[in-house]
Structure 1
Amino acid sequence: MSTATASPLTDPLAGDGSAETGLGAALSTALDGAHHRRRVAGRAAFPADGMLRDPALGLAEARVWTLRRLGEFVAAGFGQSIVPVERATPETQLQSLIDFETITYGDQSVAIKSGVQHGLFGGAIAGLGTAAQHERFLTDALQLRILGCFAMTERGHGSDVASLETTISYDADAGEFVVHSPHESSAKTYIGNAAADGHLATVFGQLIVDGVNQGVHCILVPLRDADGATLPGVTIGDNGHKGGLLGVDNGWIRFDHVRVPRDMLLDRFGSVRADGSYSSTIDNPNRRFFSMLGALVRGRICIGGGAAIAARVALSIATRYGERRTQFRHPHSDEESPLLDYLAHQRKLLPAIARAYALGFAQNELIDDYGRVSSDAAHDPRDQRALETLAAGLKALNTEFANATIQTCREACGGAGYMSENRLTQLRADTDVFATFEGDNTVLLQLVAKGVLTDYRDVWGGLDRLGLVQASARLVGGAVIERTGAGLLAERLVATARRKGDATAFYDRGWHAWMFEERERHSVDSLARRLRAADRDSFEQVNAMQD
């Protein structure tokens, strides 16, 4: 089996130990944040031998290599922190994210294969299933003894999950569910692990009980037998060659009245008794739907974090190359100048490095929030909403940054950057789709806007004049307390900047913070007023708000 060995230029783990300079070690510690020891342990456990796939491997060979490589990570202890909700702690939840981050330093296909197997398939069982289902399936999924799929996306519906066409109908006489794809557009597609490896799938569809649609639920559906042959009623196809991630076997699945035992429904949020009666601890169908999706937010956080790691790998490669590559003789020397001596080259890389740190600090806050909220079964719904909004926004920002930055790094390395052995073209190909899966970036930013406007409505909606005055006082007071206690100390910084005069204040960080806050306030106020004046039932008017 062909593998590629990382060079000092392309190895993202090079220099991660005692050889680091004092400054380098301090920066690494700062970027790792509160989880420095956990991340150092992960990098130390990383099985580095043969870490990169030979780019010359064909599609079938790449898939075999990727599955074998994932097995090496599992043997090293990665991917084992996906636990049921009742056993979740901040530590287990954080570790599951850091495991994915660490795998991303190597081959992206392996990281996404792990994301499908552990984060999505295993995560759905852990987050949506019962204790009996955890006992029956979860450990085998994490240990790769059961290879699984996360079958949500359909040909006709991707972002619009509520409109999925697959049906999960309960047959009370037989005590079974019947899973069916009623139309061509109902086929599940782009499903990782489907084309070759998957034997079991978490399938999302409309739950029909006694003729009543109870909304989207999830059920476990066997796909293949022990010999790898597809089971009756299941049709699987291969999506074929993709623009990247060749090691992930994406495929499509259609179901023709496939019968599944009643105990295969992942029924944490809604269950069906043997007599055909439906029950749920959440009466409101919309809240039930979003509670189910909220339990799956880990995948979105992982993709954003993985994109950030890919961008850092590219920046590491390009910066090291810029230090070593010389071009044009210096006017006062017989030696040629390194690329990084040129300001134009610095402009390509240094602002991106600074932004990588900024996004890394933001990602640290996000994973802290996830650890706290997801491990607390009694958490405030507002905290869950804030977590989902932050996860959506950072996933969009991280993936957009990664795609743009990897291309910049490729150009910064000239012809060498175009050579497959130097990883940049492979990174660019593999991370391209990060902008699409786990939420299309355009849709995610609209979710962020919706979350911000919901918060705005909660503060201002339905208040009389006295209430507006009181809410304003609470809002301003709370903002000052937050800034002083935990954030930018913006009021003090702005005051200091103003004392320095206009010219100096322009470069002051407090002034920048204040301007960003003012821009945010103005944008939200303006959009809220436009929406209030619009006809909510008019597609044209609401659509115009996106401009």
Structure 2
Amino acid sequence: MDTPGLPAKIDPDVLTTVLDGRWAELRRAVRAQMAAEVFEDPVDVDTETHRVQVLEWLRLLARTDRPGLGFDPAYGGGGDVGGALTSFEMLGFGDLSLMVKAGVQWGLFGGAVQLLGTERHHERYLRDIKDLDLLGCFAMTEHGHGSDVQHLRTTATYDPATREFVVHTPDRGAMKEYIGNAARDGELAVVFAQLITGGESRGVHAFLVPIRGEKARGVEIEDCGRKAGLNGVDNGRLTFDQVRIPREALLDRFGDVAEDGTYTSPIESDGRRFFTMLGTLIRGRGRVSVAGSAGSATKRALALAIRYGEQRRQFARPDGEEVVILDYRAHQRKLLPALATSYALHFAQEGLVSKLHDIAEDAPEEEQRELESRAAGIKAVSTWHATATIQAAREACGGSGYLSENLLAGLKADTDVFTTFEGDNTVLLQLVAKGLLTSYKDHFQDLSPLATARFVAEQLVEAVIERTSARKVVERLTEADDGDVLYSREWHLKLFEDREEHVLGGVAQRLRKAGSDPFGVFNDAQDHVLRAGRAHVDRVVLEAFVDAIERCADAEARELLERVCDLYALANIEADRGWFLEHGRLTSGRSKAVTAAVNALCADLRPHARTLVDAFAIPEPYLAAPMLRD
């Protein structure tokens, strides 16, 4: 079986142009600053030294216009949401503590003030936040409630006699935990709490609460201490003992309290208001930045491992010459499909950022929810990919990869938490599947398993996906010759689409049986729910890769990207071939042919491996591992 041909050699700069996309000029500017300043992972430093260094770097960033890109131009910002997200992504090539601290300050804290506050908050705080004259925190997660934000236990009770809110931590389970910037540098926190006025709870709202200084009486701060990674970020725990803040400290875009305690909101439903607020935050910052920076860290690991694989020699050929380890098929298998996936996820991330940048504030709710779902799914898949690929890269470098000086150990430690912060990946994939199942019904707001199953049991009939032409195309191509199909983009696309439709339809049928035990039925179907979410994201990612190739003007670069896309698609099919075989989408012979095709593509792409990682244009100081010295 022959693979389509490839050009002998391609200039990596041509691929960089394709990868850099819409914000190419900004990417070049960030690379230049990172090369000059070198925000490089410190090795063997104590926690305090690392925190001091990261804060110094943060101040260097504040001297540029990039931290303010996502803010309103009326307050010195750039009004460029896509540019802001791209800047955070690029910081992922360096010390990830800097990326996280920058994300907390300008993405989460500043983003919450801008997106949840109104003009009085913007006027008072945004310039200081942008210029780093006011450091802040984003205090959402509690010890007892991480993913289940709707049921946070911190309270903010309005006192009409003093026109103040009283913020209180009722028990240790309500302690704010893992709050970036809290342990050392933060002065003000956006605290998410249950708003209570007139004896009635109106759901979770955001409040500005001083955590240091004279106005912070009743605030207790505890340092989270040494972590497995990201020790340049000063994570802390916050508890509040009847802390009084003025009425104006409520970020009141979606709900306000008058002096007499009367509550008003442009959104009548408490549940819908909460998810509108949460969706606004998601569209603005967090999960998208985490996915992008995870992608950058993964690219860095692959660049290190592939460079090492091209120079490390092990065992001799019959002629006596030792073999570079990247010439071994097993080594190629370890790294090249992961590299293809990184390319695919890069283009999916780029498409997501563009959609976030372009979406109108008053876009239809269905469009907004679809974007939130895509952000959740890409974040989950990108961070799981980072964890698996950085581990594979470490193994590919043997004992050298285990040494801190060679950077992979630090990348592994720093990205490990990405799978559970800004949304636990398992919960996020359920969110993706729920969005598909419910067609974004307005009255479906509660994310709990019980509510999901109950809703589906009562309302799902019209949401069960009907079979489309995808299944028919797959059936037609099943009988075709392997050589005609394995490299057929139509077959790849329709196979991914058909898998998604089949799995989602099966989930719907299972959940319709909820009856008197909705939680039990949902619990039993949870693996299918997660598979549905993953199948959907895989299809979206493949389509993004295909779209990017169609935009590529250089014929040779396009041909190389076509083969990388083939490897992404076929490696994905191979990894899930148990499902494809069980459901008749692959014959046993075709399954073997897929594996042979993955091997052939690894062989064909081996001469281009260095080109493909060089195209990421990672500044050289961040690849200066001692193991790569001649």
The bucket for the TM-score relative to the shorter chain is: 0.7 to 0.9
Whether 2:117 is the aligned partner of 1:137: answer: no
For 1:330-479, what aligned pairs fall within 5 Å after superposition?
A: 330-332=317-319, 334-373=320-359, 376-455=360-439
Cα displacement string for residues 258-279 of structure 1 (whole angstroms, at most 9, x for unaligned residues) = 0101111100000111121111
For 1:97-496, what aligned pairs fall within 5 Å after superposition?
A: 97-225=85-213, 231-297=216-282, 298-332=285-319, 334-373=320-359, 376-455=360-439
Cα displacement string for residues 421-448 of structure 1 (whole angstroms, at most 9, x for unaligned residues) = 1110000000000001000011001101
Q: Is the 8 A contact 1:47 1:76 kept in 2?
A: no
Counterpart secondary structure, 2:267? coil
Q: Distance in 2 between matches of 1:166 and 1:330?
A: 67
What displacement does 1:288 show?
Answer: 0.4
Write the letter of the residue equivalent to 1:341: D
Who is 2:501 aligned against?
521
The CA RMSD measured in Å over matched residues stands at 2.9
Counterpart secondary structure, 1:378? coil
Q: Distance in 1 between matches of 2:139 and 2:441?
A: 35
Cα displacement string for residues 97-148 of structure 1 (whole angstroms, at most 9, x for unaligned residues) = 0110111111000000001111000010011001110111111112111111
Structure 1: gaps (5+ residues): 1-20, 481-489
Q: Distance in 1 between matches of 2:433 and 2:90?
A: 31
Write the letter of the residue equivalent to 2:293: G
- The structure 1 segments of at least 4 consecutive aligned residues displaced by more than 4 Å after TM superposition are 84-91, 460-465, 490-500
Write the letter of the residue equivalent to 2:25: R
What displacement does 1:461 show?
Answer: 11
Counterpart secondary structure, 1:173? coil
Q: Distance in 2 between matches of 1:179 and 1:323?
A: 58
> Out of 47, 54, 73, which is 1:66 matched to?
54
What displacement does 1:539 show?
Answer: 1.9
Q: Is the 8 A contact 1:303 1:438 kept in 2?
A: yes
What displacement does 1:54 show?
Answer: 2.3
Q: Distance in 2 between matches of 1:240 and 1:89?
A: 34
CA distance 1:393–1:87, change in 2 (3 Å): farther
Who is 1:16 aligned against?
none
Write the letter of the residue equivalent to 1:282: I
Q: Distance in 1 between matches of 2:79 and 2:113?
A: 19
Who is 1:535 aligned against?
515
> Out of 46, 52, 55, which is 2:43 matched to?
55
Q: Distance in 2 between matches of 1:499 and 1:342?
A: 33
- Return the structure number with greater relative CO, CA threshold 8 A, min gap 6: 2
What displacement does 1:84 show?
Answer: 4.3
Q: Is the 8 A contact 1:203 1:221 kept in 2?
A: yes
Aligned residue-pair number: 504
CA distance 1:159–1:536, change in 2 (3 Å): farther
CA distance 1:390–1:314, change in 2 (3 Å): same
Q: Distance in 2 between matches of 1:50 and 1:371?
A: 29
Counterpart secondary structure, 1:213? strand
Q: Is the 8 A contact 1:101 1:302 kept in 2?
A: yes
CA distance 1:133–1:527, change in 2 (3 Å): same
Q: Distance in 1 between matches of 2:165 and 2:493?
A: 55
Q: Distance in 2 between matches of 1:463 and 1:450?
A: 13
Q: Distance in 2 between matches of 1:142 and 1:347?
A: 45
CA distance 1:464–1:349, change in 2 (3 Å): closer
Q: Is the 8 A contact 1:53 1:62 kept in 2?
A: no
Q: Is the 8 A contact 2:203 2:270 kept in 1?
A: yes
What displacement does 1:499 show?
Answer: 9.0
Q: Distance in 1 between matches of 2:246 and 2:85?
A: 33
Who is 2:582 aligned against?
none
Q: Distance in 1 between matches of 2:240 and 2:329?
A: 59
Q: Is the 8 A contact 1:47 1:72 kept in 2?
A: no
What displacement does 1:517 show?
Answer: 1.3
| TM value normalised by structure 1 | 0.86
What displacement does 1:41 show?
Answer: 2.9
Whether 2:467 is the aligned partner of 1:508: answer: no
Q: Is the 8 A contact 2:457 2:514 kept in 1?
A: no
Counterpart secondary structure, 1:220? strand
Q: Is the 8 A contact 2:68 2:78 kept in 1?
A: no
CA distance 1:437–1:536, change in 2 (3 Å): farther
Write the letter of the residue equivalent to 2:16: S
What displacement does 1:508 show?
Answer: 2.5
What displacement does 1:410 show?
Answer: 0.6
The percentage of aligned residue pairs carrying the same residue is 48
Cα displacement string for residues 198-244 of structure 1 (whole angstroms, at most 9, x for unaligned residues) = 1100000000011110100000000112xxx8831011101111110
What displacement does 1:529 show?
Answer: 1.3
Counterpart secondary structure, 2:194? strand
Counterpart secondary structure, 1:543? helix
> Which shows bigger deviation, 318-327 or 166-175?
318-327
Q: Distance in 1 between matches of 2:198 and 2:67?
A: 39
CA distance 1:34–1:410, change in 2 (3 Å): same
| TM value normalised by structure 2 | 0.75
What displacement does 1:496 show?
Answer: 9.7
CA distance 1:404–1:222, change in 2 (3 Å): same
Structure 2: gaps (5+ residues): 1-8, 443-455, 528-630
Q: Is the 8 A contact 1:536 1:542 kept in 2?
A: no
Who is 1:4 aligned against?
none
What displacement does 1:369 show?
Answer: 1.3
What displacement does 1:328 show?
Answer: 2.3
What displacement does 1:163 show?
Answer: 0.7
What displacement does 1:91 show?
Answer: 6.2
